Structure 1
Amino acid sequence: MSKTNTNTTTNRTDRLISRITTIIATVVVVFLAIWGIRTLLHQWKFEETNDAQIDEYINPVVAKVTGYVEEIRYEENQEVKKGDTLIIIDNSEYAAQQQEAEASLLNAKAEVNILESNVSTTAQSSKVYQSQIAAAKAKLTHQEQEYDRYKKLYDVESATKQQLERVEAALAVARSEYNTALDAYQVSLAKINDARVQQSALEAEIKRRAAVVTKNDLNVSYTIITAPYNGKMGRRTIQPKQLVSAGQVLAYIVDWEAGKWVVANFKETQIRHMVVGETASIVVDAFPGKTLTGKIESLSGATGSRFSLLPPDNATGNFVKIAQRIPVRIRLDGSPDDLKVLSAGMNVNVSIAKERR
């Protein structure tokens, strides 16, 4: 009797286990079927890739002048506003050059004033010479009349030869004085012209020295390096009292004003359904519960491998067909404040609906 009871209990346990196993298997199969159908439907409607990263402009901060670093006013990974002072370079040498250039400019302007005064003085002298010319001409006319009168008297023997020679000598003196006055007047005009030519040359020199002053002003201003836009500083690699050269990269700044975008590398077989302006869904690996949106800005004109340092050459003989990737640029929607939490280089998953054409 006990053996019969034991067999009955065993059969009931087996049936229960079998029923539970069947239920579990059915649930798993249904789940896998639902998951498979959803996956197939999603793949039929969307193109996806996980070969995508956040990108933004990371620009170098470059020194425009050579000098010693006097002060550094930022820390690594510090947020900065446009116009904030980042680095101060010792400007004592450039300030001295600026003062010298300003003094040189003032000296050139003073020389122009002196020339203007000389032109004015020479012009007044020329007026005096004009009066002397008028007086000499009147005297010459009088002596010519005297000579004509004495010549007629001498011809009728009413004057002596001595008197005629005296009048003739006076005429020669008057003519000489007239010519001298004319020459002096021409010399004064030539001096005025020379002064004006020198003045034109000095005015050109003033422009040159003014340009030197402007250049030195710029050099002095370049010793104070400011943030070109709102952003975030990168790693700090310089120290105070360090000598830096013109053109040297001093730091890197992430540009927040230019916005952020995603570069998604889709397979060449996926891009046939993509058009500019199409909406994309983006999930950042760092924030899996948050979905971002963006719009396709452009598709690359060549595969990523073509932009590499050594593009592949399939004519070398060893060829293996590999699906190439086409970079697709997607502009992220949202305000700069909302996108601050995203950093360049973060991995994302991108999903784009297929455009049926």
Structure 2
Amino acid sequence: MESEVLDAAARAAEDTDVRRLQHRKRLFAALGAVAIAGGVGYALYDRLYASHFVATDNAYTAAETAQVTPAIGGIVRAVHVTDTQPVKAGDTVVSIDDTDAVLALAQAEAELGRAIRRVRGYAANDDSLAAQIAARASDEQRALAQVAAAQADVERAQIDLKRRDALAGSGSVSGEELTKARNAFESARANLSAAQATAAQARASRTAAVGSRQANAVLIADATEATNPEVALARARRDQAQLNLERTAIRAPVDGVVARRSVQVGQQVQAGAALLSIVPLSQVHVDANFKEVQLDRVRIGQPVALRSDLYGHKVQYRGVVAGLAGGTGSTFATIPAQNATGNWIKVVQRVPVRVQLDPAELAARPLQVGLSMTATIDTRRQ
């Protein structure tokens, strides 16, 4: 009887072990099925969805910072801004003493007035020179008439001398008459030479007058008073002086926030010296440095999801790929890597990708330059 009880207990224990083993097998089978399903699901997720996204946390905000520099040198009279102060484009940020510029403008305006009067004198002188040419032409005509008269007197005196010289041998003409005839001929010849010299002088005077008018005409040819080169030059100098006066008020080139102000009142500044910078926070972009192996499907215009450490992961910015840099970050480093040396180790390079942010989101949640960002590019749009 006792042996039967023991046998029943043994069979019951054996059945329990068998059921446990079967339950364990089913449990392992279920776990294996779950693992396989999870692996297949992850593979499908990675293949169909996750593989279309590339992400990096090596990203930082940046902006095209505007550097404020004077166009002219001078002494700083006033500084109207401080660091962190917001400004609008066109606001005066620094004033340079304008005393020299005011005097230079007054001098340039005086030079312009004198040039206008000088050109008007050229025009008036043209009429005067035309009258002189007419007068010199009359003098030349009168001198030519005198030459003709002198020539006639010479011919008449020569004929008279020949007649008396022919009669002198017969004694019909006295020696005194012959001498008078000879003197009259010489006098007529002298008068002819004088008339010819006067005619030559009149001709030279007329030529000089013509040359003077031609020289004066060059100064006013093909130009009005307003377009005359002398007036145009004086006007350009006046405009330059006016521009230099306006440049004594240095204005903000863009909207933004003042940064790195180094100018002080009373400082002597030179043209081109850096006075301060203005960061246009409304134009902030993100420079995301992706590994080169991530860029095979990245294209311009693809959407980008960004998060900033400043606002946390709950705040997401939307952006688009605006462009890819022309080289890797190491290429444009101050001391680039020399891969041609014998001690070369291959390192995965990073290429800066510029991401343009949504202006409306920037206005709602401003970002400063240099903040850390996380960028994820959706490469499904090719």
TM-score interval, smaller chain: 0.7 to 0.9
Which one-letter code corresponds to 1:266 in the other structure?
A: F
Q: Deviations over 1:183-214 (max 9, x none)?
A: 322333344345556789xx766555444433
Range with greater deviation from structure 2 (293-302 or 162-171)? 162-171
What TM-score, normalized to structure 2? 0.72
- The corresponding residue for 2:292 is 268
Runs of 5+ unmatched residues, structure 2: 1-33, 168-176, 222-227
Q: Deviations over 1:24-58 (max 9, x none)?
A: xxxxx99xx89x969x7474442221111122211
Distance 1:139 1:261 in 2: 95
Distance 1:46 1:131 in 2: 100
Which residue of 320, 324, 346 corresponds with 1:299? 324
- The corresponding residue for 2:248 is 223
Q: How does 1:185-264 map to 2 (within 5 A)?
A: 185-193=206-214, 195=216, 208-255=233-280, 259-264=283-288
In structure 2, relative to structure 1, the CA distance for the partners of 1:131 and 1:120 (3 Å cut) is: same
In structure 2, relative to structure 1, the CA distance for the partners of 1:44 and 1:177 (3 Å cut) is: closer
Which one-letter code corresponds to 2:370 in the other structure?
A: G
- The corresponding residue for 2:349 is 324
Report deviation, 1:306.
1.5
Range with greater deviation from structure 2 (191-200 or 84-93)? 191-200
In structure 2, relative to structure 1, the CA distance for the partners of 1:193 and 1:340 (3 Å cut) is: farther
**CA RMSD for the aligned pairs?**
3.6
Report deviation, 1:223.
1.0
Report deviation, 1:328.
1.4
Runs of 5+ unmatched residues, structure 1: 1-28
In structure 2, relative to structure 1, the CA distance for the partners of 1:340 and 1:145 (3 Å cut) is: farther
SS at match of 2:103: helix
Distance 1:301 1:272 in 2: 15
The answer to whether 1:99 aligns with 2:106 is yes
Report deviation, 1:180.
2.7
What TM-score, normalized to structure 1? 0.76
The answer to whether 1:129 aligns with 2:154 is no
Report deviation, 1:66.
1.7
In structure 2, relative to structure 1, the CA distance for the partners of 1:150 and 1:117 (3 Å cut) is: same
Distance 2:292 2:191 in 1: 112
- The corresponding residue for 1:289 is 314
Which residue of 80, 83, 86 corresponds with 2:87? 80
Report deviation, 1:333.
2.8
Distance 2:144 2:339 in 1: 102
The answer to whether 1:175 aligns with 2:175 is no
SS at match of 1:303: coil
Q: How does 1:304-315 map to 2 (within 5 A)?
A: 304-315=329-340
In structure 2, relative to structure 1, the CA distance for the partners of 1:126 and 1:301 (3 Å cut) is: closer
In structure 2, relative to structure 1, the CA distance for the partners of 1:153 and 1:83 (3 Å cut) is: same
The answer to whether 1:352 aligns with 2:377 is yes
Report deviation, 1:60.
0.8
Distance 2:277 2:310 in 1: 24
Which one-letter code corresponds to 1:286 in the other structure?
A: L
In structure 2, relative to structure 1, the CA distance for the partners of 1:312 and 1:143 (3 Å cut) is: closer
Distance 1:166 1:107 in 2: 56
- The corresponding residue for 1:5 is none
Report deviation, 1:65.
1.8
Report deviation, 1:113.
4.2
Q: Deviations over 1:151-192 (max 9, x none)?
A: 334444499615444544443443333223223223333443
Range with greater deviation from structure 2 (83-92 or 96-105)? 96-105
- In the alignment of these two chains, the number of paired residues is 324
- The corresponding residue for 2:303 is 279
Distance 2:359 2:300 in 1: 19
Distance 1:241 1:296 in 2: 46
Range with greater deviation from structure 2 (165-174 or 182-191)? 165-174
SS at match of 1:128: helix
Which residue of 29, 52, 65 corresponds with 2:59? 52
Bigger Rg, structure 1 or 2: 2
Which one-letter code corresponds to 1:133 in the other structure?
A: E
In structure 2, relative to structure 1, the CA distance for the partners of 1:348 and 1:205 (3 Å cut) is: same
Q: Deviations over 1:226-245 (max 9, x none)?
A: 12122222243322222222
Residue pair 1:57, 1:255 contacting (<8 A) in 2 also: yes
Q: How does 1:9-20 map to 2 (within 5 A)?
A: none
Residue pair 1:260, 1:339 contacting (<8 A) in 2 also: no
Distance 2:60 2:297 in 1: 21
Q: Deviations over 1:260-296 (max 9, x none)?
A: 3221111222222322221111122222322222221
Report deviation, 1:318.
4.3
Identity score, percent? 27
SS at match of 2:363: coil
